[in-house]
Amino acid sequence: MLVGEQPDVVEDRHGAPFLGPTGRLLDEALVTAGIPREQIYLTNAVKHFTWVPRGKRRLHQQPAAAEIQAGRPWLQAEYAALASAVIVASIPDHGASEASLTRRYDGAARQAGRTGETTADSGRAD
């Protein structure tokens, strides 16, 4: 299970995670690692694209803690349904994916490279 922060503008339009620039980067990494994309469950911690208007463009906006918390029940349900052995949280500057999994909203991005355990019930990595 690979958990991204939130959909980007491309993913938001298509309703699926990891389709835009991040998806292309992921595809390259998976090919290099020899892992078929079809073997990985892809999702996002925040289920909608948080944005601000700039002319005709929609620019990415950091999700608020409330938006991260709102997506948490869906993320927990996805995890429970998969009984996944490994969760990888993609952690950009904001760390929304890890914050959703661990309920740590302050400095989640500083946890990069950290391993831990979580359960579908608690969702908290220890």
CATH of the domain at 68: 3.40.470.10
With respect to residue 6, please indicate whether it lies within any of the assigned structural domains.
yes
Beta-ladder partners of 60: 51
Q: Which residues of the chain have pLDDT under 70?
A: 84-85, 91-126
Give the model's pLDDT for residue 22.
86
Give the model's pLDDT for residue 126.
42
Domains held by the chain: number: 1
Give the model's pLDDT for residue 109.
47
Give the model's pLDDT for residue 124.
44
Q: Residue 59 phi/psi, 5° resolution?
A: -95, 140
Give the model's pLDDT for residue 122.
47
Instruction: Provide the domain limits for residue 10.
Output: 2-111
With respect to residue 30, please indicate whether it lies within any of the assigned structural domains.
yes
Give the model's pLDDT for residue 63.
86
Is the distance from CB of 20 to CB of 49 less than 8 angstroms?
no
